[in-house]
Structure 1
């Protein structure tokens, strides 16, 4: 370890990494302890993050970083009888990604315990916590004892990061955003796996997205990240696998916090879009297989599909809502059949529909640019530019057509929910530019899931 008279020599650690030298476990332990004790200046932390981004880390360094981050705060400990039941999922983020909302209760309906610690949205990606907080009364802040009780009574909860869970990550994540080092594979790996390791999981599945509206635009970069996450998760004793998924077009038909809650409820009532159901059953089935609750991936997928269809997952979701502060009347109404959701959660003041305005003959929907739609919604108040900003839960978009569907001139294809009186000319232009129409012969349906990457032991 780089020390001077027994004190940490931060400059020497930064120099070592800047010059491409390997940091040992003692160096990394001293650095993380300095981060959490506030004995290292923010400028020095930023310099180290940039050095890591530029020079990378070998596996031993990433392992040490992840372990030290995980141990910087509390570790969840569960009853012994839950040893093979505690599972979770992490997504690298996308547009319309409401998968966690039906997935957690579906897994609980299959006998798992799911202490899902989620985050908020940033830039164009939505956050699970923001979606749930659009439900009146839902409380994302739960103590460790409350989380344990909800898991005992319900089987799942979706909460924010507790104050003492991986505090090093909270500090580093904020500075990664400020120093343009968010996309460093070792830093992403440490951040994700440290938090999941602190949850005390037996199995973890990672939804690693790639494409136009994802962190990584190409398949190979996403696969490299997935492999790093798998290696690190398994080294900490969690059976960790990944699913590589396309993220070009929005998931499902709704984008925006309140609208995505409604679509998640429709999924729990057995009325999911094909792509949303594919993701929920694939990720859930993978976890059931990895945790030993299903003999094969296929039987795991079938079990998740079964509880989505027969109402068992919906029942768990209602119980979770009530356990986390939603009134019984509201929870029951949201989970009832044929409900007008807007009677419970008000819609935005304005709705604007966009029509197909080119060509006089019918065409086929070939593509819908999820990133561009999300960018416009962000401008309208649905997202935040920096942590802590308030957002408008009601802003969103409903797709009125599907990929591969025939569309005629004058037919509405998207409905924008907004609270400002008018959209700008640029927003009109951007939204019209998200829709690509062509001949039916040129359309090829593509599955969301492109690869399952199993743990080394399976």
Structure 2
């Protein structure tokens, strides 16, 4: 007979009790094996959302998620391993220039990434717009590429934290996504199972982010940094603004093109600033403090690493990226100051085909939005403000509806927050 029961554990958390280590270990393992039903785990997830978990519970829950699968056994690749994770935003293409930059500075970046859901684009979706590029690699291919190139961005392996994959899908359909203990343990269980030497987190704050307020984002960042410390993974979190889109491109191929500009020494100032800030933290964790990532990025030295990283996964870095069959330009209806809300742009890009509502939905490689002005710019009547790119012209009216109110010309917009808001160590 089982030493615990799902109902007993659900009731304990429902009534605000602390779950024991044994209860946590049992329920995560039993759910992974299928002995605890989805409806029971859904009830427990809701109880956790409503009543929370203390730090020890969260750390143990994370450990149980890691124990549900394998820990990545990467061999010594001759460089220190360091990873980065972003909680997701609009135009957040930072992994694309960051991984080759950090590799160009001497570290190795094993970036196991995911696909997008809703208005935040997934890194794999962006890279799959490159002709021939493939996301799924074996452990041997990951190791070889890290040793040779120093950077790999690929799909997570099915054996890493399988409990998280089941629970993530369940949270998505049961209104329990927002639970900080469940978010933190979901992210950190996968990252700890990757067995890297250090982790830098980019926790987004604002309308286009998962965490709308600095208070909630700080709580999430502090929780994840503490979990990292509990499990021997040195972790630093940057809290960064996501009230306006990052850069000027939101959409898969559009963001790849912008990332290439950055890697060649150009690109939007905010994308460069955040890429360099995260690179500095990653290199510090890797013990490589004598190299200046800003100078390496500006020189274009990271671009050849990008070419090798893409080619190693079957992609053609010189091939033309997909272009949308239908492009519409929105212009300013009057003179004034351009105001641009991240959520409005992200939702519109998603409606144009750049994102998906369900995990099984396809995405359009060429769909998205190109901003032709930055938030806070003074504009003239009739000036082009943004381009809508899609292969499904019928979606344009729906996308325009998402932009209404979020993208406008105003007399004076609220002051734009700093990009880098805080650091949690």
TM band (smaller chain): over 0.9
| Alpha carbons of structure 1 residues 411 and 18: separation in structure 2 relative to 1, 3 Å | same
Alignment-derived partner of residue 80 in structure 2: 85
C-alpha distance in 1 between matches for 2:297 and 2:196: 24
CA shift, 1:423, in A, is 5.2
CA shift, 1:179, in A, is 1.0
- State yes or no: 1:16 paired with 2:12: yes
- State yes or no: 1:56 paired with 2:32: no
CA shift, 1:60, in A, is 1.1
Say which is worse superposed, 404-413 or 415-424, in terms of deviation: 415-424
C-alpha distance in 1 between matches for 2:256 and 2:191: 24
Say which is worse superposed, 110-119 or 84-93, in terms of deviation: 84-93
1:227-284 CA-partner distances (Å, limit 9, x unpaired):
0011001111111011011101110000100100000001101112111011101111
* Native 8 Å contact 2:77 2:143 kept in 1: no
* Native 8 Å contact 2:66 2:192 kept in 1: yes
- State yes or no: 1:180 paired with 2:153: no
TM-score by length of 1: 0.89
1:171-203 CA-partner distances (Å, limit 9, x unpaired):
010001111111111101111111010111111
C-alpha distance in 1 between matches for 2:160 and 2:268: 35
CA shift, 1:312, in A, is 2.2
SS of alignment partner, residue 135 of structure 1: coil
C-alpha distance in 2 between matches for 1:71 and 1:111: 31
SS of alignment partner, residue 159 of structure 1: strand
Alignment-derived partner of residue 339 in structure 1: none
* Native 8 Å contact 2:352 2:389 kept in 1: no
- State yes or no: 1:363 paired with 2:336: yes
CA shift, 1:436, in A, is 3.7
C-alpha distance in 1 between matches for 2:348 and 2:337: 24
Total equivalences in the alignment? 425
Aligned with 2:132 (options 132, 137, 147): 137
1:376-402 CA-partner distances (Å, limit 9, x unpaired):
222222211111111111111111112
1:91-115 CA-partner distances (Å, limit 9, x unpaired):
1110000000000011111111111
Q: Which runs of 5 or more residues in structure 1 are unaligned?
A: 335-343
C-alpha distance in 1 between matches for 2:395 and 2:124: 27
Which consecutive segments of 4 or more residues in structure 1 shift more than 6 A? none
Higher Cα Rg, which structure: 1
CA shift, 1:406, in A, is 1.9
TM-score by length of 2: 0.96
Alignment-derived partner of residue 238 in structure 1: 233
- State yes or no: 1:386 paired with 2:382: no
* Native 8 Å contact 2:348 2:398 kept in 1: no
Alignment-derived partner of residue 420 in structure 1: 392
Aligned with 1:345 (options 318, 321, 327): 321
C-alpha distance in 1 between matches for 2:362 and 2:416: 38
SS of alignment partner, residue 205 of structure 1: strand
- 5 Å-filtered alignment, 1:20-419, equals 20-80=16-76, 85-294=80-289, 303-326=292-315, 330-331=316-317, 333=318, 344-358=320-334, 362-365=335-338, 367-419=339-391
- State yes or no: 1:447 paired with 2:400: no
C-alpha distance in 2 between matches for 1:207 and 1:407: 32
C-alpha distance in 2 between matches for 1:99 and 1:148: 23
* Native 8 Å contact 1:239 1:291 kept in 2: no
Q: CA RMSD in A?
A: 1.8
C-alpha distance in 1 between matches for 2:210 and 2:391: 29
| Alpha carbons of structure 1 residues 176 and 443: separation in structure 2 relative to 1, 3 Å | closer
CA shift, 1:425, in A, is 4.6
CA shift, 1:405, in A, is 2.1
C-alpha distance in 2 between matches for 1:179 and 1:123: 16
* Native 8 Å contact 1:129 1:140 kept in 2: yes
